[in-house]
Each structure stands twice: as structure tokens, then as C-alpha cells.
Amino acid sequence: MPVILPKELTGAELQSMLKSNVNFKSLGGMRVEGLKLSEEDIKWWRDAKIGMFIHWGLYSLLGQGEWVRYNEKLPYCSYESLKNEFDPVDFSTDSWMDIARSLGANYCVMVTRHHDGFSLWDSPASYRGFTSVNSAAKRDFVKEFTRSCRKYSMKCGYYYSPMDWRFPGYFDPVGLSGNAELMKRQCYGQVEELMTQYGVPDILWYDGGWLAHKGSDTSSAWFWEPDKLNKMVRSHAPKIVINPRSGWEGDFYCDEGSSVISGGIITVPWEKNLCLCSGASWGWMENDPVQELDWLIRMLVNVIGRDGNILWNIAPDKNGRLSENVKNRIKEFGDWIRQHREAIYGTRGGPIEPVDDVFVTTFRENDVFLFVLDKVRFSKNVVSGLPGNVLSVTTLDGKPLAYTSGEGIKIDLQHLPDDVVPVIRISLDAEIKPVSSQVYFTARQ
């Protein structure tokens, strides 16, 4: 399979993408003059590094993932009537914020409406009023979520699926164009509601901009007219960060799923989104095994060392809760993140190209943070290509590590702390400059 590349990548970026196994979705999206955020506008998002994704809806009652209605061919009426059972007990969206904090997330993206059409807010544009306000719960969960985000100083993101299985026109947009048009009208109306009803959100995360489950988000742009849709979004939320999955190129790239990231640094803004559990589905499944701590840490490190963000999905049950198992793993993982926060938040990937399974680096100002993935293999390496003279080499908490300089530096790992992925701080005498995201941003200003 040929790797499809973002057209704007050239030179070094192109080279690293070719070597990488990052698989960006929705490449080749429509370009629209003036719609993309500048480097400065998206800086907060890149600095934030870690987000939490929340898949929760009517499907969470059934425990077979968010595609259950489609996969099990559930008749519309029986699925719709689930809303009479949708009434989480003792539930507050604040509990999600506690989890997000525990995880070390700086932003949350809540699924406000998935492909099943059930909206988690009071949505006048919802076709047949299929909303949580009209469910047993009689609650507006998007409003509650947004309030909780603000209360916890968490950046607030909405996932929204333009497509909706309830419309036969989705499956035959040409033959049933009138019905498909209704679905499109719902999409425009609902996105506008999300941009205006609860104050301005920080992130808009589209998914499912294809048609009839064929092609890609970008090949369906003729129908959705994402230029028009996102111009409307920008008119209400000029600085909102938008993903690429509406058919417009978006402000960042997306890699979806649990495949391990390898290869070179990708200096364009990008985000990996994946599940904390097995990844068999994004919505709740009972006893879905949570990933091992070691795996989670390595995944995070592999992404940030290649200059990406990471969005971890949780799948609460019908009452909006996570199992103790999952919460405990999140806590352990978050503890590791907190202990290494200096090397994570507000950094950029690099300046040294990663060596797969051996080490990656991040940097901020004069400091390079070197994450050791394999001590034995790393100890045989010389670190070269540092953009300045070395002032000191220490552990993260400041204990000096011996090193020798020559062509590069060779670090003695004897006193490295016992850690899944130990981190070494190399302080230089000069501020480190990001390499080449210039190419990405200047091209579109």
C-alpha cells in the first residue's frame, strides 16, 4: 500500500513521514483560504499534549460498542426506545473531569452525537427530537459537560458525526437526495447549536463525513461542503481547533487506533487518538481489558517524541462510570505522567530523530529530554546532533549523570532511576529551535 502523504510536506518532513508508520486519516482535504489556524493560535493545543476522549451515549446501555445499532441491524424503533432507559444514576460530568485530571489530560473531547443520531444536548435541529432531553434522563449532558470543563479549567472539545444512520439518504445520497439533504440540514443546524448554545468550545472533532460507508471524509466533500460548514463554525468560534475529518483539511492531522508509532519526527500538528482499553470498540463493553501500564507509557512517549498529541478514549458504562480497574490504571499512568511532566507538557518532539524502540527526545528552551526505551541498546549509543554545547546531564530531578564528550556525548546510565522509561535531561547553552513546522504554516498564510 503506498503511503498517502500530506501534500504540503516537503524535504525533511516528507522523508520522516516516509519512514514512519503514522497513518493519517482524511488526507487531501479541501483547502480554504483563511480557514486554518496560525501556528500561534494552535500553540495552546500543541502544548497541552494530552487529551481525554469520551464515547458515551445510548449504545452504552447495550455494551457492544458504539456501532451496535448498525452491526446488529437493530430496527430503528427498538433502538430509539432505548432512550426511555437512558437515565444515569448519581451521575455528574464532574466525575469525568476528575478522571481527566487523574490522567494528566488538558483537554476533553466528548462525543456529543455519534452515527446513531442520539444527541446528548437540547438540540432543536435534531431530526425527530432524538435527544437526551427527551430521554428518561431529561438532561442536557453537553451543557453539563461544558460547565464541568470550565469549572476544572479543562479545554472543552465536541466530537460530532455529520452522518446519521437514521437517514436512508445517507446510504443513497443521489437516489434519495431529498432525504440526504435533510441529514445535511440537521448537521449544519446542530453544529451551529454546538458553537453557540454553551459559549465557545475549544475543539471541534468531526468523524464520519463519508457517505454510505464508502470512500473517505474527503471524497464526500461534494455533499457536505465542508468549506461552507467550517466558515459558519469560524464565524462563531474564530479560534476553535478543528480536526480534518469533515472533508476540509483541518488544523491538525489524525492518526486513529492502537498501532504503535515509529519512524521520524512529524513536525506538523498531529494527534493520535486511541483507547485506553483493548480498542475493540470505543463505546462501553463489559470487561474490556485495559492496556498495561508499560504499553501506555511507551505509546505516549513514542507520540510526543515525534511531536504529536495524544487523545485517550474512555468508554463509561450506562451510568457514566468506569470500572475500578480502568480508574486504577489511569491513576498509575497519570502518576507517571505527573512525575515526568516537565519533559512532556509544552515541549516539542526532537531535536534528535528518534531511534525506534531505543530512545526519543522532546525539548523546551535549553533542555533536551531524552526518554530511554531500551537501556541496553541505548548504552551502546552516542547522542549526537545536539544543537548546542552541553552544560549538564542529569536525571529529571536534578541528579548529575556522568558523561563523556567527543563526536557526541556518551552517557553513563549506572545511576539512572529504575523506571519503565527513564528520562535524562541534557541542558544546552543555547535555546533549541523547532525544526520545520514553518513549512506547514507559512504555506497557508
Q: Which residues bind ligand GLC (CB under 6 A)?
A: 66-67, 207, 256, 273, 282
Between CA 416 and CA 349 the distance in angstroms is: 22
Q: Cβ closer to ligand GLC: 144 or 207?
A: 207
Between CA 49 and CA 27 the distance in angstroms is: 22
Q: Give yes or no for a contact between 55 and 315, defined as CB atoms under 8 angstroms apart.
A: yes
Q: Cβ closer to ligand GLC: 13 or 256?
A: 256
CB of 313 to ligand GLC, least distance (A): 7
Helix (H) or strand (E) segment spanning residue 64: none
Between CA 61 and CA 285 the distance in angstroms is: 10
Please give the C-alpha separations between residue 15 and each of 28, 340, 351, in angstroms, as whole numbers.
18, 30, 16
CB of 343 to ligand GLC, least distance (A): 27
CB of 252 to ligand GLC, least distance (A): 14
Q: Give yes or no for a contact between 248 and 35, defined as CB atoms under 8 angstroms apart.
A: yes
Q: Cβ closer to ligand GLC: 159 or 333?
A: 159
CB of 4 to ligand GLC, least distance (A): 17
Q: Cβ closer to ligand GLC: 245 or 348?
A: 245
Q: Cβ closer to ligand GLC: 86 or 282?
A: 282
Q: Cβ closer to ligand GLC: 71 or 177?
A: 71
Between CA 367 and CA 138 the distance in angstroms is: 52
CB of 273 to ligand GLC, least distance (A): 5
Q: Which residues pair with residue 160 across a beta bridge?
A: 113, 206
Between CA 50 and CA 337 the distance in angstroms is: 10
CB of 79 to ligand GLC, least distance (A): 16
Residue nearest to ligand GLC (CB): 282
Give the 3-state DSSP-derived string for 161-192, with helices as H, strands as E and coil as C: CCCCCCCHHHHCCCCCHHHHHHHHHHHHHHHH
